[in-house]
Amino acid sequence: MKKAAAAKSRIGTSAVRSGRLLEILSSFPGRPVAVWGDLILDEYLFGTTRRVSREAPVLILRHAGSEFTLGGAGNALLNLKALGAEPHPVAVVGRDEAGRTVLNILKKNRIPLHGVQVRTGYKTPLKTRILAGEENTRKQQILRLDRESRVPDSAEIRGSMVRELTHAARRCRALLISDYDYLTVQEEIFRRVLPRFKKAGRPVTLDSRFRILRFPGVTAATPNEPEAAEAARSEIGDDARRLLAAGRSLLSRLGAHALLITRGSRGMALFEKNRPPFLIPVHGTTHIVDVTGAGDTVISVFTLSLACGAAFAEAALLANIAGGLAVMKKGTAAVGLDELKKAVSTEP
């Protein structure tokens, strides 16, 4: 039955030549893309294993260093910048140390800050990962601590975001929505600004951790397989029939033109209106180093490709290659334009 289901779908990448993909990539530099979503600060603490504590059965670590990077919408912004685009954030940070660090990272990467509100009473989401190991060995994550809050329900905040998004509908070529459920992205605002992007002919893409069906009418969404299964209320696993049923159901309920489901080591599945599903095998090795932030890389490349006039299948192929590169990097690391071009050039 699985073979029969797969036979009704498009499989492989040979239909699109690498030359066409390189042509799309050549259009990336300077392309303005708005990113509306939750800015998250990722903190990494590195330690060297010393011994087990006498006070409790826990490891004692010698602190060896720390570093910060951006997660959520921030990672999408960094990916777009690395691809040569001009990202424009529409977001909120707290008036706190984490918020200042987020702003400093954006500023360092020459990402404009005029669309980022700084608000008292809101704590910038901070995710601290502790990684440990012996001397001269790869450090493994042993603990993650999340400090979270939600954007206040404020008419002033909503009004500012509507104004920024209205401007973005005129000056940007696409809108990328990165929703990690901290309520930067609000349904009321979405309903007000979506028609403006549609009228301007701008693609609107969605990556929503828990609320994908709350934002109907987007051009495309890019859930991972567990998110798609939860939204479709169906277990998928390695059952091709369930995958196809869940994809078609979500595409219809979302009212989108396309749905790209990322499947980890099983690649991706693209669903489009009135077309057979397109099953794309994973790019590169299935031995993954770190999946952190890979979804942000996928939607960044997918959105930017659509902003450059790519068809959904072309955008999905480029996103799949970029995702394969991202999971071979440690932590939330961006994929650069030259790196992506090289990978496309070596595709069989």
Beta-strand relationship, 175-179 and 32-37: parallel
Burial class (CB in 10 A: 0-12, 13-18, 19+), 8: exposed
Give whole-number Cα distances, 325 to 169, 172, 284, 300, 330, in Å: 31, 27, 8, 13, 11
Give the separation between CA 259 and CA 267, rounded to whole angstroms. Answer: 14
Asked if residue 85 lies in contact with residue 33, where contact means CB atoms within 8 angstroms, the answer is yes
Give the separation between CA 306 and CA 201, rounded to whole angstroms. Answer: 11
Residues 38, 179, 207, 296: which is the catalytic one?
A: 296
H or E stretch at 99: helix 97-108
Give the separation between CA 101 and CA 316, rounded to whole angstroms. Answer: 33
Q: DSSP string spanning 261-272? A: EE-GGG-EEEEE
Q: Which residues are within 8 A (CB) of 14 and not within 5 positions of it... i.e. 6 or more apart?
A: none
Q: At what angle do helices 294-307 and 312-326 cross, to 10 degrees?
A: 150
Longest CA span, the chain: 66
**Residue 179 is among the residues annotated as catalytic for this protein:** no
Active site residues: 296
